[in-house]
Structure 1
Protein backbone atom coordinates (compact mmCIF):
# COMPACT_ATOMS: atom_id res chain seq x y z
CA UNK A 1 0.00 0.00 0.00
CA UNK A 2 1.40 3.40 -1.00
CA UNK A 3 0.84 5.72 1.99
CA UNK A 4 1.85 8.75 -0.06
CA UNK A 5 -0.94 8.13 -2.57
CA UNK A 6 -3.69 10.59 -1.65
CA UNK A 7 -6.02 9.06 -4.20
CA UNK A 8 -6.34 5.84 -2.21
CA UNK A 9 -9.21 4.25 -0.33
CA UNK A 10 -8.46 5.93 2.98
CA UNK A 11 -8.38 9.38 1.36
CA UNK A 12 -11.75 8.70 -0.27
CA UNK A 13 -13.15 7.69 3.10
CA UNK A 14 -11.86 10.90 4.73
CA UNK A 15 -13.32 12.96 1.87
CA UNK A 16 -16.75 11.40 2.37
CA UNK A 17 -16.63 12.10 6.11
CA UNK A 18 -15.60 15.70 5.47
CA UNK A 19 -18.20 16.56 2.82
CA UNK A 20 -20.95 14.78 4.75
CA UNK A 21 -20.06 16.70 7.91
CA UNK A 22 -20.06 20.00 5.98
CA UNK A 23 -23.45 19.23 4.40
CA UNK A 24 -24.94 18.14 7.73
CA UNK A 25 -23.55 21.24 9.44
CA UNK A 26 -25.23 23.52 6.87
CA UNK A 27 -28.58 21.78 7.39
CA UNK A 28 -28.35 21.73 11.19
CA UNK A 29 -27.09 25.30 11.44
CA UNK A 30 -30.44 26.49 10.06
CA UNK A 31 -32.09 24.69 13.00
CA UNK A 32 -29.50 26.04 15.46
CA UNK A 33 -28.30 22.51 16.21
CA UNK A 34 -24.83 20.99 16.38
CA UNK A 35 -24.05 17.72 14.54
CA UNK A 36 -23.96 15.60 17.73
CA UNK A 37 -27.37 16.76 18.95
CA UNK A 38 -29.78 14.91 16.61
CA UNK A 39 -28.76 11.42 17.82
CA UNK A 40 -29.20 12.59 21.41
CA UNK A 41 -32.60 14.11 20.63
CA UNK A 42 -33.77 10.94 18.90
CA UNK A 43 -32.49 8.80 21.79
CA UNK A 44 -34.64 10.82 24.20
CA UNK A 45 -37.52 10.84 21.74
CA UNK A 46 -37.58 7.04 21.94
CA UNK A 47 -36.65 6.78 25.66
CA UNK A 48 -37.49 10.00 27.48
CA UNK A 49 -36.19 10.22 31.03
CA UNK A 50 -32.87 8.45 30.62
CA UNK A 51 -30.03 9.22 32.98
CA UNK A 52 -26.96 10.96 31.64
CA UNK A 53 -25.01 7.69 32.03
CA UNK A 54 -27.64 5.76 30.05
CA UNK A 55 -27.49 8.34 27.25
CA UNK A 56 -23.70 8.13 27.17
CA UNK A 57 -23.86 4.33 26.97
CA UNK A 58 -26.47 4.33 24.19
CA UNK A 59 -24.58 6.87 22.11
CA UNK A 60 -21.10 5.46 22.91
CA UNK A 61 -19.97 8.89 24.09
CA UNK A 62 -18.01 9.79 27.21
CA UNK A 63 -20.20 11.03 30.09
CA UNK A 64 -18.25 14.31 30.23
CA UNK A 65 -19.11 14.96 26.58
CA UNK A 66 -22.78 14.25 27.28
CA UNK A 67 -22.70 16.75 30.15
CA UNK A 68 -21.44 19.49 27.82
CA UNK A 69 -23.99 18.60 25.14
CA UNK A 70 -26.84 18.57 27.64
CA UNK A 71 -25.82 21.92 29.11
CA UNK A 72 -25.89 23.49 25.66
CA UNK A 73 -29.24 21.86 24.84
CA UNK A 74 -30.72 22.91 28.17
CA UNK A 75 -29.75 26.55 27.48
CA UNK A 76 -31.57 26.43 24.14
CA UNK A 77 -34.65 24.88 25.74
CA UNK A 78 -34.52 21.48 24.04
CA UNK A 79 -34.20 19.40 27.21
CA UNK A 80 -34.63 19.65 30.96
CA UNK A 81 -32.83 17.69 33.66
CA UNK A 82 -34.57 16.54 36.81
CA UNK A 83 -33.37 14.55 39.79
CA UNK A 84 -34.57 10.98 39.95
CA UNK A 85 -37.36 10.55 42.51
CA UNK A 86 -35.84 7.39 44.01
CA UNK A 87 -32.14 8.26 43.75
CA UNK A 88 -31.25 11.94 44.15
CA UNK A 89 -27.76 11.31 42.75
CA UNK A 90 -29.19 10.56 39.30
CA UNK A 91 -30.24 13.27 36.87
CA UNK A 92 -32.90 12.24 34.37
CA UNK A 93 -33.12 14.00 31.01
CA UNK A 94 -36.41 14.87 29.33
CA UNK A 95 -37.31 16.50 26.05
CA UNK A 96 -39.19 19.77 26.28
CA UNK A 97 -42.00 20.56 23.85
CA UNK A 98 -39.40 22.47 21.82
CA UNK A 99 -37.18 19.36 21.81
CA UNK A 100 -40.07 17.19 20.60
CA UNK A 101 -40.86 19.70 17.85
CA UNK A 102 -37.20 19.64 16.81
CA UNK A 103 -37.36 15.85 16.52
CA UNK A 104 -40.39 16.14 14.27
CA UNK A 105 -38.50 18.64 12.11
CA UNK A 106 -35.45 16.36 11.98
CA UNK A 107 -37.64 13.43 10.95
CA UNK A 108 -38.53 15.45 7.84
CA UNK A 109 -34.95 16.54 7.13
CA UNK A 110 -33.08 13.26 7.58
CA UNK A 111 -34.71 11.53 4.59
CA UNK A 112 -33.61 14.50 2.45
CA UNK A 113 -30.04 14.08 3.70
CA UNK A 114 -30.18 10.34 3.01
CA UNK A 115 -31.54 10.96 -0.48
CA UNK A 116 -28.72 13.43 -1.17
CA UNK A 117 -26.15 10.89 0.00
CA UNK A 118 -27.58 7.67 -1.39
CA UNK A 119 -30.04 8.72 -4.09
CA UNK A 120 -28.16 7.06 -6.93
CA UNK A 121 -27.33 3.88 -4.96
CA UNK A 122 -29.23 0.69 -5.62
CA UNK A 123 -30.69 -1.11 -2.59
CA UNK A 124 -28.01 -3.76 -3.05
CA UNK A 125 -25.26 -1.10 -3.03
CA UNK A 126 -26.72 0.42 0.14
CA UNK A 127 -26.70 -2.96 1.87
CA UNK A 128 -23.15 -3.69 0.70
CA UNK A 129 -21.99 -0.26 1.83
CA UNK A 130 -23.62 -0.71 5.23
CA UNK A 131 -22.02 -4.15 5.57
CA UNK A 132 -18.58 -2.76 4.70
CA UNK A 133 -18.89 0.14 7.14
CA UNK A 134 -19.91 -2.25 9.92
CA UNK A 135 -16.97 -4.47 9.05
CA UNK A 136 -14.64 -1.46 9.22
CA UNK A 137 -16.08 -0.44 12.60
CA UNK A 138 -15.60 -4.00 13.90
CA UNK A 139 -11.97 -3.97 12.72
CA UNK A 140 -11.29 -0.72 14.56
CA UNK A 141 -13.13 -1.84 17.70
CA UNK A 142 -10.99 -4.98 17.84
CA UNK A 143 -7.85 -2.83 17.77
CA UNK A 144 -9.22 -0.54 20.50
CA UNK A 145 -9.94 -3.51 22.81
CA UNK A 146 -6.35 -4.73 22.74
Structure 2
Protein backbone atom coordinates (compact mmCIF):
# COMPACT_ATOMS: atom_id res chain seq x y z
CA UNK A 1 0.00 0.00 0.00
CA UNK A 2 1.50 3.35 -1.04
CA UNK A 3 1.56 6.70 0.72
CA UNK A 4 -2.04 7.82 1.11
CA UNK A 5 -3.00 11.41 1.62
CA UNK A 6 -5.69 12.38 4.06
CA UNK A 7 -7.28 14.60 1.44
CA UNK A 8 -9.01 12.33 -1.11
CA UNK A 9 -8.52 14.86 -3.90
CA UNK A 10 -4.75 14.61 -3.53
CA UNK A 11 -2.20 12.27 -5.02
CA UNK A 12 -1.37 8.74 -3.87
CA UNK A 13 2.34 8.57 -3.09
CA UNK A 14 3.78 5.70 -1.05
CA UNK A 15 3.08 3.77 2.17
CA UNK A 16 2.05 6.23 4.90
CA UNK A 17 -0.92 8.53 5.42
CA UNK A 18 0.06 12.20 5.32
CA UNK A 19 -2.01 15.35 4.91
CA UNK A 20 -1.93 16.80 1.40
CA UNK A 21 -1.06 20.22 2.80
CA UNK A 22 2.39 18.84 3.64
CA UNK A 23 3.21 18.29 -0.03
CA UNK A 24 3.93 21.91 -0.93
CA UNK A 25 7.43 20.90 -1.98
CA UNK A 26 5.90 18.76 -4.71
CA UNK A 27 4.05 21.72 -6.18
CA UNK A 28 6.97 24.12 -5.79
CA UNK A 29 9.18 21.55 -7.49
CA UNK A 30 6.76 21.09 -10.39
CA UNK A 31 6.52 24.84 -10.96
CA UNK A 32 10.29 25.25 -10.70
CA UNK A 33 11.02 22.39 -13.13
CA UNK A 34 8.47 23.67 -15.65
CA UNK A 35 9.90 27.18 -15.43
CA UNK A 36 13.39 25.76 -15.95
CA UNK A 37 12.26 23.76 -18.99
CA UNK A 38 10.81 26.92 -20.49
CA UNK A 39 13.97 28.90 -19.74
CA UNK A 40 16.29 26.17 -21.04
CA UNK A 41 14.33 26.09 -24.29
CA UNK A 42 14.91 29.83 -24.74
CA UNK A 43 18.47 29.92 -23.42
CA UNK A 44 19.90 27.02 -25.42
CA UNK A 45 19.96 29.38 -28.40
CA UNK A 46 22.50 31.48 -26.46
CA UNK A 47 24.56 28.57 -25.14
CA UNK A 48 23.27 29.11 -21.60
CA UNK A 49 21.20 27.19 -19.07
CA UNK A 50 18.36 28.25 -16.81
CA UNK A 51 20.80 28.73 -13.90
CA UNK A 52 22.07 31.86 -15.67
CA UNK A 53 18.61 33.42 -15.67
CA UNK A 54 18.39 34.72 -12.08
CA UNK A 55 21.98 35.98 -12.23
CA UNK A 56 21.46 37.93 -15.45
CA UNK A 57 18.08 39.38 -14.54
CA UNK A 58 19.08 40.36 -11.01
CA UNK A 59 22.21 42.06 -12.32
CA UNK A 60 20.09 43.80 -14.94
CA UNK A 61 18.36 45.62 -12.10
CA UNK A 62 21.31 45.75 -9.65
CA UNK A 63 24.56 46.22 -11.53
CA UNK A 64 27.86 46.42 -9.74
CA UNK A 65 26.90 43.87 -7.13
CA UNK A 66 29.50 41.76 -5.36
CA UNK A 67 29.33 38.11 -6.48
CA UNK A 68 29.09 36.82 -2.90
CA UNK A 69 26.27 39.23 -2.10
CA UNK A 70 24.43 38.16 -5.27
CA UNK A 71 24.68 34.49 -4.25
CA UNK A 72 23.43 35.34 -0.78
CA UNK A 73 20.47 37.38 -2.07
CA UNK A 74 19.44 34.69 -4.56
CA UNK A 75 20.28 31.79 -2.21
CA UNK A 76 22.61 30.24 -4.80
CA UNK A 77 25.48 27.81 -4.37
CA UNK A 78 28.64 29.92 -4.66
CA UNK A 79 30.73 27.34 -6.52
CA UNK A 80 28.02 26.74 -9.13
CA UNK A 81 27.47 30.49 -9.46
CA UNK A 82 31.23 31.02 -9.95
CA UNK A 83 31.33 28.48 -12.79
CA UNK A 84 28.25 30.08 -14.35
CA UNK A 85 29.79 33.55 -14.02
CA UNK A 86 32.91 32.36 -15.83
CA UNK A 87 30.71 31.06 -18.67
CA UNK A 88 28.76 34.32 -18.79
CA UNK A 89 32.05 36.21 -18.90
CA UNK A 90 33.47 33.97 -21.65
CA UNK A 91 30.27 34.38 -23.69
CA UNK A 92 30.51 38.15 -23.33
CA UNK A 93 27.43 38.73 -21.16
CA UNK A 94 29.16 40.01 -18.01
CA UNK A 95 32.41 41.60 -16.89
CA UNK A 96 33.89 40.44 -13.58
CA UNK A 97 36.32 42.71 -11.77
CA UNK A 98 38.06 42.07 -8.45
CA UNK A 99 36.05 43.65 -5.65
CA UNK A 100 38.13 46.43 -4.09
CA UNK A 101 36.66 45.70 -0.64
CA UNK A 102 37.08 41.91 -0.86
CA UNK A 103 39.88 40.67 -3.14
CA UNK A 104 38.46 37.13 -2.97
CA UNK A 105 35.25 38.21 -4.70
CA UNK A 106 34.20 39.98 -7.88
CA UNK A 107 32.02 42.95 -8.77
CA UNK A 108 29.70 42.08 -11.65
CA UNK A 109 28.59 44.25 -14.56
CA UNK A 110 26.48 43.33 -17.57
CA UNK A 111 27.82 44.03 -21.04
CA UNK A 112 25.49 45.41 -23.73
CA UNK A 113 24.88 41.81 -24.86
CA UNK A 114 24.15 40.83 -21.27
CA UNK A 115 21.63 43.65 -20.93
CA UNK A 116 19.88 42.59 -24.13
CA UNK A 117 19.59 38.94 -23.13
CA UNK A 118 18.52 39.83 -19.57
CA UNK A 119 15.73 42.05 -20.93
CA UNK A 120 14.63 39.29 -23.32
CA UNK A 121 14.66 36.66 -20.56
CA UNK A 122 12.72 38.88 -18.21
CA UNK A 123 10.10 39.53 -20.88
CA UNK A 124 9.81 35.81 -21.69
CA UNK A 125 9.47 34.70 -18.09
CA UNK A 126 6.88 37.39 -17.35
CA UNK A 127 4.84 36.11 -20.31
CA UNK A 128 5.19 32.51 -19.12
CA UNK A 129 4.17 33.26 -15.53
CA UNK A 130 1.27 35.38 -16.79
CA UNK A 131 -0.01 32.34 -18.65
CA UNK A 132 0.55 30.02 -15.68
CA UNK A 133 -1.12 32.39 -13.22
CA UNK A 134 -3.94 33.37 -15.58
CA UNK A 135 -6.63 31.46 -13.62
CA UNK A 136 -6.00 33.65 -10.53
CA UNK A 137 -7.68 37.01 -10.03
CA UNK A 138 -5.65 40.01 -8.82
CA UNK A 139 -6.62 39.52 -5.17
CA UNK A 140 -5.70 35.82 -5.17
CA UNK A 141 -2.44 36.61 -6.93
CA UNK A 142 -1.53 39.30 -4.39
CA UNK A 143 -2.30 36.94 -1.49
CA UNK A 144 -0.34 34.08 -3.08
CA UNK A 145 2.64 36.33 -3.73
CA UNK A 146 2.68 37.73 -0.19
CA UNK A 147 2.35 34.28 1.38
CA UNK A 148 5.04 32.76 -0.85
CA UNK A 149 7.40 35.58 0.09
CA UNK A 150 6.64 35.05 3.77
CA UNK A 151 7.24 31.28 3.78
CA UNK A 152 10.31 31.58 1.53
CA UNK A 153 11.92 34.06 3.91
CA UNK A 154 10.97 31.86 6.85
CA UNK A 155 12.62 28.84 5.22
CA UNK A 156 15.80 30.82 4.51
CA UNK A 157 15.93 32.16 8.06
CA UNK A 158 15.32 28.74 9.63
CA UNK A 159 18.09 27.12 7.59
CA UNK A 160 20.52 29.97 8.30
CA UNK A 161 19.79 29.71 12.02
CA UNK A 162 20.38 25.95 11.94
CA UNK A 163 23.64 26.37 10.05
CA UNK A 164 24.78 29.12 12.43
CA UNK A 165 23.98 26.97 15.47
CA UNK A 166 26.05 24.12 14.01
CA UNK A 167 29.02 26.49 13.57
CA UNK A 168 28.73 27.53 17.23
CA UNK A 169 28.56 23.89 18.36
CA UNK A 170 31.87 23.03 16.67
TM-score range (shorter-chain normalised) is: 0.7 to 0.9
Aligned residues: 144
Which of 72, 84, 97 matches 2:112? Answer: 97
In 2 relative to 1, CA 83–104 (structure 1 residues): closer, same or farther, beyond 3 Å?
same
Q: 5+ residue gaps in structure 1? A: none
Deviations 1:2-24 (Å, cap 9, x if unpaired)? Answer: 94447145244443333333233
> Is 1:37 equivalent to 2:32 in the alignment?
no
- Corresponding residue for 2:79? 64
Q: SS state of the match for residue 95, structure 2?
A: strand
Deviations 1:10-66 (Å, cap 9, x if unpaired)? Answer: 244443333333233223334433212122112222232222222222222233222
Give the TM-score, by structure 1 length.
0.77
- Corresponding residue for 2:70? 55
Q: 5+ residue gaps in structure 2? A: 12-19, 163-170
Question: Whose relative contact order is higher, 1 or 2, with alpha carbons under 8 Å and at least 6 apart?
Answer: 1
Task: Tell me the distance in 1 between the aligned counterparts of 2:27 and 2:75.
Answer: 25
Which structure: larger Rg?
2
Task: Tell me the distance in 1 between the aligned counterparts of 2:158 and 2:98.
Answer: 38
> Is 1:117 equivalent to 2:139 in the alignment?
no
Give the TM-score, by structure 2 length.
0.68
